[in-house]
Structure 1
Amino acid sequence: MKRRLTLHFPREVVHQPITYRLAVDFDIAAKILRAQIAPNQSGTMVVELSGDIDELDAAESWLEGQGLGLNRAPGQIAIDRALCVDCGICSSVCPSGALSCTAPAWDLQFEASRCLVCEQCIPSCPVEAIALVLDPV
């Protein structure tokens, strides 16, 4: 099973080997999608965790116990076809291959089932045709 999480690192936790501990203690593979962490500062990291569902639950509890804040994927990516110009810039930053442009038509294709909701495509779109649609609360 896979889960996408945004981890919020407080300053005092930045130096801990979090992804190593996930692998060794919980048999969880952590694919880092985006990270913005600097020494002696707080930071964030978007990860896709893969493993057994019980181990994923235990790993999330452990992460929270280490002082990390956790946010689960808050929604889904939506593309406004009326605004999209099929430039393909978003497909070049998509780590999962959910966005692609292929010959001969070169139209943007979006495969939602592959999307990790990492949000890297949103700032890359020059016409702001991509947005995060939040899940209802």
Structure 2
Amino acid sequence: MKKRVTLKFPQPAIQMPITYRLAKDFNIAASIIRAQVAPNQEGKLVMELSGDIDELEDAIDWMRSQDITVSLASAEIAIDEDACVDCGLCTGVCPTQALTLHPETFQLNFTRSRCVVCEQCIPTCPVQAISTNI
């Protein structure tokens, strides 16, 4: 089973080897989608966790016991097709290639099943045609 989660680390937990602990202690594969961590500040990770459902739940409970805020991702990316100018800037930051330009028409294509809602495309859009739906 896979779960997409957002983790917020308090300053004391920033140095914790979270992906190592998830793999070693819970047999969970963790793919980091986006990371915002700075020394002496809070950190934020968007990750996709893969593993057995019971081990995933145990891992999430353990992270919460370490004062890490765990939010299950339920948001989806929405594209306002009327506002989009098909510039393609969002395609350059999309880590999963959920956003691509059609090779002949140069129109933006969005493959929702590939999107991991990392939100990297949102600040990249010059006309603010990309947002999240919760």
TM tier relative to shorter chain: over 0.9
Q: 47-56 or 115-124, which moves further after superposition?
A: 47-56
AA paired with 1:83?
A: A
Is 1:118 aligned with 2:92?
A: no
Q: Name 2:3's counterpart in structure 1.
A: 3
Q: Name 1:87's counterpart in structure 2.
A: 87
Measure, in 1, the Cα distance between the counterparts of 2:107 and 2:52.
37
1:38: how far off?
Answer: 1.8
The alignment covers a number of residue pairs equal to 134
Aligned-pair identity (%): 55
- For residues 13-59 of structure 1, give each alpha carbon's deviation from its aligned partner in whole angstroms, at most 9, with x where no partner exists: 11111111001111111111111112232111111111122211111
Give the TM-score, by structure 1 length. Answer: 0.92
Q: Name 1:37's counterpart in structure 2.
A: 37
Give the TM-score, by structure 2 length. Answer: 0.94
Unpaired segments ≥5 residues, structure 1: none
Unpaired segments ≥5 residues, structure 2: none
Measure, in 1, the Cα distance between the counterparts of 2:96 and 2:52.
21
**RMSD, aligned α-carbons:** 1.1
Q: 34-43 or 72-81, which moves further after superposition?
A: 34-43
Q: Secondary structure at the match of 2:83?
A: coil
The runs of at least 4 consecutive aligned structure 1 residues that moved more than 3 Å come to: none
AA paired with 2:72?
A: R
1:110: how far off?
Answer: 0.6
